[in-house]
A = this chain, B = another copy of it.
């Protein structure tokens, strides 16, 4: 066993940490008080710098202009980027584009790859993933009302989706729709590429989330598909394989979230410690850092973060070595475990800041409100707990336990 971080990764993450500190964190005050759309130009400049440093698209294949890091390597990179909400975007590895690129890479036709994948990885266009439906539980993807019916050479799509994140300004959506209603449950849906300027692709609104309307990349679209017609060659992967592909996508997607959350943990922890050390509480100059309750939070957070990081990296290692399927239990475990560590750490950091912890003068309340979703998206805590325990319990069937 070896817990040493590879030298190459140490170099890369130290470059990224410095870049985040110097170039991105100074943008946060603007980010926190303006809508995303107005930030796009300045973020575009930063992206250019990243490309010049040859740190662009760290997780993506070299043939498409990425760095081709493996999952363990990307874990460290992603933690460094996750320290600021704009990190992944500026480095070209943000959700949902990263996941969409992965599907296109694995299942796309050459034509689809040239048309959608290449510009996507190059950061020239953005995309969205349109699966969740308003009236259906996200945890049960086979409950789906959206349909894609063949008509001539086309699919005609009808349905009502929401949480189609980043739909605002996206070039195309990957849409999940029932194409084979008579097939077995898990073989009814397909993925279809829908350019967002297709007639019948109607973004009803961006959903206001935690007090923010949300624009551009930061908007969560509610989309009404009304007789939305696309050619059948836009089918992504085999017909009826939508859920199978989605499952393949969600595994890495979940660990990608965990990696990013580690960055949020690190940033919040750093700020908490710094604040504790600087905040004078009594006329004789005693700081918050001398208070035992604060000390306990710091120690508990350090332990929690260490646990979260080791679990995430070991899961990445397992995926690399044995594949997503073998690592499913670990992925479910880290999905809820790391999300909860993050929530605890952010909450403690906020509390250490006191009144300032509520203000947009600092980044913590942004994490507090937006990352509350971490315990919900890509499978709520409870869903993962059930699924992981059922898997575990099966192992005890017929096994003798003393």
Copies in the complex: 4
Within 8 A of B (CB), among A142-179: 142-143, 162-163
A213: B residues at CB distance < 8 A: 33
User: A334 CB to closest chain B CB, in angstroms?
Assistant: 8
Known contacts A208-B32, A282-B140, A292-B291; is A299 also within 8 Å of B388 by CB? Answer: yes
Q: Which of A138, A162, A209 has the most CB of B within 10 A?
A: A209
Interface of A is mostly: helix
Within 8 A of B (CB), among A281-298: 281-283, 289, 291-296, 298
Binary interface encoding of chain A residues 21-35 relative to chain B, with 1 for a CB under 8 A from any of its CBs, else 0: 100010000001100
Q: Can you add 20 more A-B contacts, CB < 8 Å, to A143-B282, A210-B211, A365-B369?
A: A25-B402, A138-B354, A139-B281, A210-B368, A211-B360, A211-B365, A270-B396, A273-B401, A274-B399, A277-B396, A291-B382, A293-B293, A293-B296, A296-B382, A302-B329, A302-B392, A303-B311, A355-B376, A358-B373, A358-B376
Known contacts A1-B3, A273-B393, A375-B351; is A311 also within 8 Å of B302 by CB? Answer: no
Q: Which residue of B lies closest to A21 (CB)?
A: B402
- Residue A280 is within 8 A (CB to CB) of chain B in the complex: yes
Q: Which of A277, A318, A329, A368 has the most CB of B within 10 A?
A: A277
A397: B residues at CB distance < 8 A: 277
A276: B residues at CB distance < 8 A: 393
Within 8 A of B (CB), among A40-66: none
Which A residues contact B (CB, under 8 angstroms)? 1-6, 21, 25, 32-33, 72, 132, 137-140, 142-143, 162-163, 207-213, 270-271, 273-274, 276-277, 279-283, 289, 291-296, 298-300, 302-303, 306-308, 310-311, 313-314, 317-318, 321, 329-330, 332-334, 336-337, 350-351, 354-355, 357-361, 365-366, 368-369, 372-373, 375-377, 380-382, 384-386, 388-390, 392-393, 395-397, 399, 401-402
Contact A333 B208 (CB under 8 A): no
A318: B residues at CB distance < 8 A: 3
Contact B207 A361 (CB under 8 A): yes
Q: Which residue of B lies closest to A270 (CB)?
A: B401
User: A166 CB to closest chain B CB, in angstroms?
Assistant: 15
Contact A357 B376 (CB under 8 A): yes
Contact A299 B333 (CB under 8 A): yes
A390: B residues at CB distance < 8 A: 295
Contact B351 A376 (CB under 8 A): yes
Known contacts A132-B355, A355-B377, A401-B274; is A389 also within 8 Å of B209 by CB? Answer: no
Rounded to whole angstroms, the CA-CA distance of A357 and B377 in the bound complex is: 11
Q: Which of A298, A299, A384, A388 has the most CB of B within 10 A?
A: A299
Rounded to whole angstroms, the CA-CA distance of A321 and B1 in the bound complex is: 12
User: A137 CB to closest chain B CB, in angstroms?
Assistant: 5
A294: B residues at CB distance < 8 A: 382, 389
